[in-house]
Structure 1
């Protein structure tokens, strides 16, 4: 056999061995491939399954973004901390995915003090968690801990999907004037316009539901919370059904690249988001179905929370930046844009950026669109911490995003 054939055979053998190894190990030792939730942090509050994390300033000089671009770490910090608010039905670590696609690392690199509200992992025993739990109980406790820890009364909120809605509900109930800035990403304000399925269904049910209520007094909240509790596995299937061709195509690519350790790790990390989802608490689903799905209360600007609270969205006056994805099958542009009419903010902006429901938040282009726009917008609305006299700023030159 010629040397060239021997070399090709050797490469093929190594590739085949790597293919088999990754094919087996990704099933047997999946945790070794998951690269999320790696940024150093400390928990500053726990209350039940909810916790609040503080992310320490990066101890590196640079951060590498997807595509190989380098971002120099800004040493001068901003005085107003950034609080990231995840949706329900996913794990909070989606804000801290792969090192080059970690939103938390990106904003740390740009000089922000970053905190994360983690809603935890609800199970069947948590079916009673309601909108009141999240917005009237846990949200104030989280912000109190963050304010005490940071020393700043002012905060900025960044909410993805339902995280944006929870932020709005908190603000509408509390009238918290110390929330300086709010960013919402793909948050469904007008559910009648949110997507081709939920909108028409909600409209169709609104009149019959009102008729039944007026005639009999029956409402969905009379039913058991357990009847509305959605297991994580069901959520995963529903999410994947919004783009079945994309799911199939990504799996084909995985097979083609099974011998590439880095590719498999990246695939497994991203796939964990869509495959391993926590339960969606029944009480919250029950409320959302009635108040958002059927009666479209967010678009109308007022939502009753529990027995004694009303979230008045016209009371929201903080600076607002809102995003929608141009290919989002879950939250349409019109569904997200409605936020511009329900709040009273005078400083507000709306951007349409490339991507589907996940892509607009942390897709391969999000760093140059959603993240970059948010960073520029926040920097103009977040006071820098005064620099000691004679001290220069390290790592401010050469930033690329």
Structure 2
């Protein structure tokens, strides 16, 4: 009897699903689509609102474990502790095995002015700091801080004759190594060169890497380079009549961070628009929004550029191109670039709208180094430093070059508790 009723039920069920199965399937599919749409819409609205009112929750930079080992005013020095994980995943999925054998010569990263130092530790998978830590280097970072209009008087003398020596002294004491390597991006490379040129007594800077550093300002780019060269002639005539740029108050040359941001974005306005359109298209993707917000913070939130430094750069480097000519007066010292004998590795981007290849290549002629190499790599001014291709070009070349010129400890060391 039970078998009979079971057969009847099975038959009716079969008929029912033959008639209405497609409808039920379509209804379920539509419900799933509606659910996904609702979730996507909710995420879209949430990110659209939260990225405005809680921006800090989206910023992924400056997350690598570090400690401040020295501070003087707005300038500080950070030491990055060795990575505790065994692997580091880079953007694109490449996995690095973290090297436990360390190099004895520490690497000092030198940021430019007009940006925050955390660009060296941008994203977990796009962090120059973490990349070199994974390859066995002791990493330090000089942080120039956040100048305001109150710091308009900060000059090249402050950076290269005062803060730079103090920073290296603190690093040498902390690392217990007299020898150091420097890696400078843009103006950071120029400040490193100025320090070495003005301090010929310091023979313990073994290696210097510069990335997109415009040594020859008259070749800086197709617009500002020729303009500076053209203006140098009337500027010399005006100077002979007794007028000097340094007689003008430093505050008049001070550049607000918002102006810097606008100027940088105007070097690639189409890129700015297209990246924003991509953000709108991916506003429901939390990871995409966080990465966009972090990268955008670099170009949107910039510190002021001190007026005294701007004035000196305009006069000594822009108008008169002193660095490319080999000598530059800084404070009471003459920075003679022929004093530099450190090993040199320099980079220029093939699509850099700010620093031309010729402007960056000039480093090869002003220094006395015998071991010096110049590379042209893919990317614009930011891309050559930390773009998606940089890990396979600028970073990889720098790592290989530096490993050959750095001394390794005979066994792994643990400095995690060092202070």
Same fold per superposition (TM over 0.5): yes
Picking from 258, 270, 287, the partner of 1:233 is 258
Cα offset for 1:104? 0.1
Q: Residue deviations 1:3-56, cap 9 Å, x none? A: 111111111111000000000000010000000000000000000000000000
Aligned counterpart, 1:191: 217
Picking from 20, 27, 41, the partner of 2:66 is 41
Aligned counterpart, 1:358: 382
Larger radius of gyration: 2
d(CA) in 1 for partners of 2:136, 2:162: 30
Cα offset for 1:298? 1.1
d(CA) in 1 for partners of 2:181, 2:197: 15
Aligned counterpart, 2:135: 110
Aligned counterpart, 1:373: 397
d(CA) in 2 for partners of 1:256, 1:263: 10
d(CA) in 2 for partners of 1:22, 1:380: 46
Picking from 86, 94, 100, the partner of 2:111 is 86
1:284 aligns with 2:309: yes
Secondary structure of the 1:143 match is helix
What is the RMSD of the two structures over their aligned residues, measured on CA atoms? Answer: 0.9
Aligned counterpart, 1:27: 52
Aligned counterpart, 2:336: 312
d(CA) in 1 for partners of 2:114, 2:402: 27
Aligned counterpart, 1:58: 83
Give structure 1 regions of 4+ aligned residues with deviation exceeding 6 angstroms: none
**TM-score, normalised with respect to structure 1:** 0.96
Q: Residue deviations 1:151-197, cap 9 Å, x none? A: 00000000000000000000000112100000000000111111011
Secondary structure of the 2:373 match is strand
Aligned counterpart, 1:242: 267
Secondary structure of the 1:3 match is helix
Which structure 1 residue ranges, 5 or more long, are not aligned?
A: 392-401
Cα offset for 1:354? 0.4
d(CA) in 2 for partners of 1:297, 1:253: 43
Picking from 323, 344, 347, the partner of 1:323 is 347
Aligned counterpart, 1:270: 295
Aligned counterpart, 1:395: none
Secondary structure of the 2:182 match is strand
Equivalent residues, number: 387
Q: Residue deviations 1:200-246, cap 9 Å, x none? A: 111111111111111x2211111000000000000000000000000
Which structure 2 residue ranges, 5 or more long, are not aligned?
A: 1-25, 414-419
Cα offset for 1:77? 0.1
d(CA) in 1 for partners of 2:335, 2:242: 24
Aligned counterpart, 1:223: 248
1:96 aligns with 2:113: no
Cα offset for 1:387? 2.1
Cα offset for 1:251? 0.2
